[in-house]
């Protein structure tokens, strides 16, 4: 997988520019109007930065202050592309880290806990039998009352070709996602279709059970 994104990092970035991936993500969060000054936001499997950049632009447009962004990804080549934007635009509040969601560095040394965690197109690459573990790792980075937003490809013939065959990724149905989130101790606030390819899921940590 790391090899795939090392050799195809530019192809991937060109493809998402073509389909307006960043614009769609930005519109999704614009409607929710949930960013606030002082927030910490983590983009897990940030790749070349589409999701962080969408949120960063919103924070700028809303004149928010002290918003700290952290992005981590397994693949150096993807992070290098993200870093080029940071350098070019002299961005000072985005920090990048090469890390594996399945083997996270201990908090808070490299990654802090976050008010918002976002992840797009990444959980598809987690081996199926470690999917719940990956969700639990994301949950471990959430502050109490934090929110996790997952954008993930769904089952369907188009994705069977585009996502499974071309990008060697796993696809999940809605019931599979619901069961996995539940097993990871996450409550679904909303689960909706996102564009033609996926689901957008908003989650929070399960609250204490009332006897």
Ligand X SMILES: C[S@@+](CC[C@H](N)C(=O)[O-])C[C@H]1O[C@@H](n2cnc3c(N)ncnc32)[C@H](O)[C@@H]1O
* Nearest CB to ligand X, comparing residues 40 and 197: 197
Task: Give DSSP secondary structure letters for the chain.
Answer: -HHHHHHSHHHHHHHHHHTTHHHHHHHHHHHH----TT-EEEEET-TTSHHHHHHHHHHHHTT--S-EEEEEES-HHHHHHHHHHHHHTT--SEEEEE-BTTBPPPTTTSS--EEEEEEES-GGGS-GGGHHHHHHHHHHTEEEEEEEEEEEEB-SHHHIIIIIIIT----B-HHHHHHHHHHTTEEEEEEEEETTTEEEEEEEEPPPPP-
* Nearest CB to ligand X, comparing residues 106 and 144: 106
What mask, x for binding ligand X by CB under 6 A, covers residues 91 to 110?
Answer: ---------xxx--------
Interaction of residue 47 with ligand X, rule CB under 6 A: yes
Token pair for residue 109?
A: 């040394």
Interaction of residue 14 with ligand X, rule CB under 6 A: no
CB of 147 to ligand X, least distance (A): 17
Interaction of residue 198 with ligand X, rule CB under 6 A: no
Listed ranges 30-38, 55-63, 117-125, 202-210: which one lies at the site for ligand X (CB under 6 A): 117-125
* Nearest CB to ligand X, comparing residues 45 and 146: 45
Site for ligand X in 17-46 (CB under 6 A): 21, 45-46
Interaction of residue 150 with ligand X, rule CB under 6 A: no
User: What number of chain residues touch ligand X (CB under 6 A)?
Assistant: 20
- 142 cis-preceded (ω within 30 degrees of 0): no
CB of 39 to ligand X, least distance (A): 19
Q: Footprint of ligand X on this chain (CB under 6 A)?
A: 1, 5, 16, 21, 45-47, 50-51, 73-75, 78, 100-102, 120-122, 125
């Amino acid at each position: 997988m790391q090899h795939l994104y090392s050799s195809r990092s530019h192809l991937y970035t060109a493809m998402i520019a073509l389909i307006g991936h960043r614009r769609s993500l930005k519109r999704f969060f614009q409607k929710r109007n949930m960013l606030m000054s002082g927030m910490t936001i983590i983009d897990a499997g940030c790749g070349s930065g589409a999701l962080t950049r969408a949120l960063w632009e919103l924070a700028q447009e809303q004149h928010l202050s002290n918003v700290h962004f952290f992005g981590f990804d397994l693949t150096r080549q993807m992070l290098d592309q993200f870093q080029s934007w940071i350098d070019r635009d002299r961005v000072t509040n985005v920090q990048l880290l090469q890390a594996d969601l399945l083997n996270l560095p201990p908090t808070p040394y490299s990654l802090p806990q976050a008010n918002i965690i976002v992840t797009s197109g990444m959980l598809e690459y987690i081996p199926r039998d470690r999917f719940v573990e990956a969700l639990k790792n994301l949950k471990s980075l959430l502050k109490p009352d934090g929110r996790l937003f997952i954008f993930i490809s769904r089952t369907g013939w188009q994705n069977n070709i585009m996502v499974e065959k071309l990008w060697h990724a796993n696809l999940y149905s809605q019931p599979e996602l619901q069961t996995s989130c539940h097993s990871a101790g996450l409550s679904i606030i909303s689960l909706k279709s996102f564009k033609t390819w996926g689901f957008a899921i908003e989650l929070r940590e399960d609250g204490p059970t009332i006897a």
